Structure 1
Amino acid sequence: MTEIKNKQTVMNVFNWIKYEIKSCLRSLAISKKWPEKLPFDRITVEPPRDASNGDIATNAAMVLAKPVGINPYDIYLPLAEGLKKLESVKSVEIIHPGFINIRLISDIWLAQISKILELGQDFGNSNMGSGLKVNVEYVSANPTGPLHAAHARCAVFGDALASLLEKAGFSVIREYYINDVGSQIDKLAHSVYLRYQEVLGSSSCIPECDYPGEYLKDVAKALVMHEGDNLMNALEQEWLEPVRTFAVELIMTNIMKDLVTMGIHIDRFSSERAIVKKNLISHALARLEAVGLVYRGMLNPPKGKCPDDWEPRPQLLFRSTKFGDDVDRPLQKSDGSWTYFANDIAYHMDKVERGYMDMIDVFGADHGGYVNRIRAAISAITGGQANLDVKLCQMVNMFDGGKPVRMSKRSGNFVTLSNVLDTVGPDVLRFIMLTRRNDQTLEFDYQKVSEQSRNNPVFYVQYAYARACSVIRNAKEIFSAEDLSDFALSRVEINFLTDRNELKLSKLLASWPRVVESAAASHEPHRVAFYLANVAANFHELWSKGRENARLRFILKNEREITIARIALVRATAVVVASGLEIMGVKPMDELRG
């Protein structure tokens, strides 16, 4: 094995150790004449669950034992001996049932402090993605009303995921799909027209099936400003299109304003209406028909019920049962128009033809039953070449001091995003939305997210950054003759950091590149929030140790070398926290005021 001698060139310690492990295993494979094709890609190198077991754990021997056809111990032993020869490895231990735990010398971890200060927030950048193009579609709320809290979760998740993928080396486009055709849009137009008549003095009653939210009064007033009373006595075929277009455009304008306020960036807005007008659906369905997945047949009534008006009729169907669906899905309505599913197939094919073979869709939880059929259709259209990952975001329950927040009469039946932003601001909202896995229900309590305590993850992480900035400001006052720039700190003697808590924090900061890559690979941006909370907890713990033991304070006026080394650690902590917050779309705060 060829060990990397210059520790300063190492940025991802875990990738470096994986490289050494694979190098050792390849040498063993040659000398022992193991099979040529071995699953090296399944080898994991990560921190052990229990930190007392070492710095790094690998499953290498367990993964290779079966393909090679030998006892795992016949791999463990020579691999362990090979790793022990590395100057940077302090010890190697074999753990039942099949892991190897590795401890590295402290120099390796401490050297990463200098690397962090040298690279700044570029520390953690990866070429894992190799510039691969990825389309991330998120928000995509129907333009029938204002955004609400659940939309915010999809928006934050998608935006953070896109930023995470970019840091991991992917070329990302952020896209919003405007569902501007279909019965929901027609229903919107009818609701707006009734409000329009009200504004002009006509009494009307909004049917239960239409949109009752009072926000439509503003849309109607704007329509009156635009059209006057020209549409008052018009026939439906005369007013439907202009009202529908006006309402969608105005509501989309308001949606975009909320997204801008929240710091959500969208590169491209795609329209379902445009997809239909371009007649892309026939082109897409022809591909499915060519592989036997589209046919004309009879559709059974929904399971467990048979509506009185149900009339079996020949329909154009997609064979979704072939992919685990309950029934085959219709592609065309009785009036000859295409279903949403057919339009969506064409939209995804459009993405593929724009060069995006890797796609991620962020949907609300109510789209769960839709996932398999759209994946199947895209796989069939592209001959299995395209990848579509659908991430479902569960509901957001709004509370204030533990009590459910009442729905807004103005919005109809939900809490608007603009109200949440007015109350807590975009940074708090964005951070909290990433404190749970996307597939778990999230509780958002106005009171808790406003607390200045360790129970509030937003405050706890921001406080770590602000506290680090405060320490550095104090150091600059006390050591005014010293150059405490990042460049200067990256070249200080860092081995003065000998306390176990200092080393613990150093190891955690050094693991940031691994967190970036693992979170990007799994499409799980919440891992960044979890990691930052861990960094904050370790930093606050180290600060508290200094209050208990004066020798552990960050600043010792009469001990320059130790102080400068500790300031380097503090500054590295601030850099990594800022890097993580950048992915989350949250601005780090130099000072916190109550």
Structure 2
Amino acid sequence: MNIYGIFKNDLDQIANKLKNENILTHEAFAVERPKDAKFGDLSTNIAIVSAKQNGTNPRALSEKYVEHIKALEYVESVSVEGAGFINVFLKTSSLHKILETILTLGNEYGSSNIGNNEKINVEYVSANPTGPMHIGHARGACFGDTLVNVLKKAGYDVTKEYYVNDAGKQIDVLAESAYYRYLEALGESVTIPEGCYPGDYLIQTGKKLAEKYGNSLKTMENPIQEIRFFVVDNMLELIKDDLARLAIKHDIFVSEYELQKTGYIEKGINLLEEKGLVYYGTLEKPKGMAVEDWEEKEQLIFKSTAFGDDMDRVVKKSDGTYAYFAGDIGYTVHKLERGYTKLVYVLGADHAGYVKRLKSIVSALSDNKVECDVRICQLVNFLNGGEVVKMSKRAGTFVTVGDVIDEVGGDVVRLMMLTRKNDITINFDLKVAKEQSKDNPVFYIQYAHARCKSVLRQAKNDSPDAYNLYLNKDFSVLNNLESQEDMEIIKTLMLFPRILEQASIHNEPHRVVFYAEELANSLHTFWAKGRDNENLKFIQKNNSQLTAARLIMIDCIANVIASCLEVCNVLPVEEM
């Protein structure tokens, strides 16, 4: 039951009725929660947007809507505020119905079919396979994986994809670095040259190479090429292990090397040539900045500015080799061939310059039919009690995901990475992540769920009559929920389907965690008030009807918090 969606559909019907009476036409409008609860439970700007289109006074037009809105069965009262905003208070019985819906649907409450099984590809993490994941990768991993769950909740058909960058020069450097560790494993004294990967994580790879090849690599003409794919596979296993500890498992791993080998770059360039979207020429040297692939010679160039990019992009250099961007072209063709109607890329802060070029190539190759959304996850400042944490000894150059999970656990990492919108830098403080306080959102949310479960266990022993009413889902007891505090919690629960819907529409999974914090705060506030006001205690010793009603409400809170956590792939705790 999404009361926001129900009200929006009813407004559409009212607007169509007024249109048929030649009173107005209407365009897109919003149904929101009023910023101030004193104005109502729901608010809409339909009269304002309709008035603009019809050249009429919005307040006068709003009165025509009010006449019809008053007749809706779930509406208690209607008022018009400001320039013509229509505010609605819901009937208490309608609010009680929300609790009944939650308890009946369980973890399906909030699910919808707005996606209509549309095929979406979400590519996330895609860290270079040159070592274990660092803490920055974890942010994109948690963001992307939670976004996938949000989209699935909204009825989309989603593929979770990882692009393996295994065709670049960095892989040759990785293989060379592993070769030195191989020599080390054979007992030789080695110094890792500058420019190679110094991390201790390659020691095990070197030992595996020694087990596999013995001394034979030392006599090979090109040992680096021989071990290249073996080393990449080892690094991918490290990455997959880190992802598994975050409860993340991709559906598909796509190899850059394999795409190049099977001709996808050529296929993409041929398609652009057929569309007249590439040309031979020389780009003007940009002022004040260095640009990859720029040279003062004729090159093959993609007309990316025709699709909103800041500059056209080099596809093939003057010496006939492909520019880095050519790989994106081939990969885009590969995605489009699989029938996706929307592509989502989750990238790190260092890829902010890729947004327009990715959107341009998707638009060009799909004839503007496929939507492309690029989400940039900003940096993670890793702290401990406000102090910057030193680099990982194991990795050599960065704080690894594994290090952090060892300290606080995977569930904490996942939730902490979603406590800010993706385009805002996160301060991940180990000390805060371990605290049992309101400052730690992970603890605060989990404690709310555990507190709900504790109340239910206590009621089973202390108030068996009320517990049986709750257990048998006797929803008639909900008429006992009348206090303002009860209504505030129900109205917060009412928001959940809309939160999921908006999170899926805007690709913003952090909304789920923000909402979980709000719901947890509602519960903790109610609990605190119960210390001073006997009428607000969840278990009423002499009133089994009210107790049963509160137990239903408590179970609904636990249910929705658990759903929020499950969307984040976090296991809700029963006790703390």
Retained in 1: the 8 A contact 2:470–2:549? no
In structure 2, the CA distance between the partners of 1:85 and 1:492, relative to structure 1 (3 Å rule), is closer
The residue identity in structure 1 corresponding to 2:370 is A
Retained in 1: the 8 A contact 2:352–2:376? yes
Retained in 2: the 8 A contact 1:117–1:487? no
The residue identity in structure 2 corresponding to 1:220 is G
Equivalent residue, structure 1, for 2:147:
161
Do structure 1's residue 182 and structure 2's residue 172 form an aligned pair? no
Do structure 1's residue 440 and structure 2's residue 424 form an aligned pair? yes
In structure 2, the CA distance between the partners of 1:260 and 1:98, relative to structure 1 (3 Å rule), is same
Equivalent residue, structure 2, for 1:54:
40
Once the two structures are TM-superposed, the CA of residue 240 in structure 1 deviates from its matched residue by 2.5
Secondary structure, aligned partner of 1:331: strand
Return the match for 1:356 from 340, 347, 355. 340
Once the two structures are TM-superposed, the CA of residue 469 in structure 1 deviates from its matched residue by 0.3
Give distance in 2, aligned partners of 1:109 and 1:511.
12
Do structure 1's residue 22 and structure 2's residue 22 form an aligned pair? no
Retained in 2: the 8 A contact 1:490–1:568? no
In structure 2, the CA distance between the partners of 1:306 and 1:57, relative to structure 1 (3 Å rule), is closer
Question: 1:411-430 CA deviation, whole Å, 9 max, x = no partner?
Answer: 12210000001110011111
Give the total of aligned pairs. 575
Secondary structure, aligned partner of 1:574: helix
Retained in 2: the 8 A contact 1:546–1:552? yes
Give matches, 1:326-365, under 5 Å: 326-333=310-317, 336-365=320-349
Give distance in 2, aligned partners of 1:332 and 1:487.
68
In structure 2, the CA distance between the partners of 1:424 and 1:569, relative to structure 1 (3 Å rule), is same
Retained in 2: the 8 A contact 1:118–1:490? no
Secondary structure, aligned partner of 2:218: coil
Once the two structures are TM-superposed, the CA of residue 86 in structure 1 deviates from its matched residue by 2.5
Question: 1:94-121 CA deviation, whole Å, 9 max, x = no partner?
Answer: 2223321111111111111011111111
Secondary structure, aligned partner of 1:489: coil
The residue identity in structure 2 corresponding to 1:294 is V
In structure 2, the CA distance between the partners of 1:490 and 1:361, relative to structure 1 (3 Å rule), is farther
Give distance in 2, aligned partners of 1:15 and 1:139.
34
Give distance in 2, aligned partners of 1:75 and 1:503.
31
Give distance in 1, aligned partners of 2:413 and 2:81.
43
Equivalent residue, structure 1, for 2:76:
90
Retained in 1: the 8 A contact 2:459–2:467? no
Give distance in 2, aligned partners of 1:336 and 1:580.
51
Give distance in 1, aligned partners of 2:304 and 2:294.
22
Secondary structure, aligned partner of 2:253: strand
Once the two structures are TM-superposed, the CA of residue 33 in structure 1 deviates from its matched residue by 4.9
Equivalent residue, structure 1, for 2:178:
192
Question: 1:339-358 CA deviation, whole Å, 9 max, x = no partner?
Answer: 33212222122111111121
Question: 1:461-504 CA deviation, whole Å, 9 max, x = no partner?
Answer: 10110000000001111233566487623634211001101110
Give distance in 2, aligned partners of 1:273 and 1:485.
63
Give distance in 2, aligned partners of 1:134 and 1:471.
41
Return the match for 1:472 from 445, 456, 461. 456
Equivalent residue, structure 1, for 2:256:
272
Secondary structure, aligned partner of 2:296: coil
Retained in 2: the 8 A contact 1:162–1:174? yes
Give distance in 1, aligned partners of 2:369 and 2:497.
29
Once the two structures are TM-superposed, the CA of residue 249 in structure 1 deviates from its matched residue by 0.3
Once the two structures are TM-superposed, the CA of residue 60 in structure 1 deviates from its matched residue by 0.5
After TM superposition, the score normalised by the length of structure 1 is 0.93
Give matches, 1:104-123, under 5 Å: 104-123=90-109
Retained in 2: the 8 A contact 1:547–1:553? yes
Once the two structures are TM-superposed, the CA of residue 320 in structure 1 deviates from its matched residue by 2.5
The residue identity in structure 2 corresponding to 1:101 is N
Equivalent residue, structure 2, for 1:144:
130
Return the match for 2:528 from 514, 528, 544. 544
Secondary structure, aligned partner of 1:250: helix
In structure 2, the CA distance between the partners of 1:67 and 1:444, relative to structure 1 (3 Å rule), is same
Give distance in 1, aligned partners of 2:226 and 2:301.
33
Equivalent residue, structure 1, for 2:272:
288
Give matches, 1:215-294, under 5 Å: 215-235=201-221, 238-294=222-278
In structure 2, the CA distance between the partners of 1:500 and 1:332, relative to structure 1 (3 Å rule), is same
Give matches, 1:413-492, under 5 Å: 413-480=397-464, 484=468, 488-489=472-473, 491-492=475-476
Identity between Structure 1 and Structure 2 (%)? 44
Equivalent residue, structure 2, for 1:315:
299
Return the match for 2:52 from 47, 55, 66. 66
Secondary structure, aligned partner of 1:144: coil
Question: 1:391-410 CA deviation, whole Å, 9 max, x = no partner?
Answer: 11001110001100001133
Equivalent residue, structure 1, for 2:65:
79
Residue range with higher mean Cα deviation, 541-550 or 426-435: 541-550
Secondary structure, aligned partner of 2:542: coil
Structure 1 unmatched runs, 5+: 1-10
In structure 2, the CA distance between the partners of 1:490 and 1:586, relative to structure 1 (3 Å rule), is farther
Retained in 2: the 8 A contact 1:117–1:490? no
Once the two structures are TM-superposed, the CA of residue 334 in structure 1 deviates from its matched residue by 5.6
The residue identity in structure 1 corresponding to 2:11 is I
The residue identity in structure 1 corresponding to 2:231 is A
The residue identity in structure 1 corresponding to 2:494 is A
Return the match for 2:24 from 15, 22, 34. 34
In structure 2, the CA distance between the partners of 1:490 and 1:375, relative to structure 1 (3 Å rule), is farther
Structure 2 unmatched runs, 5+: none
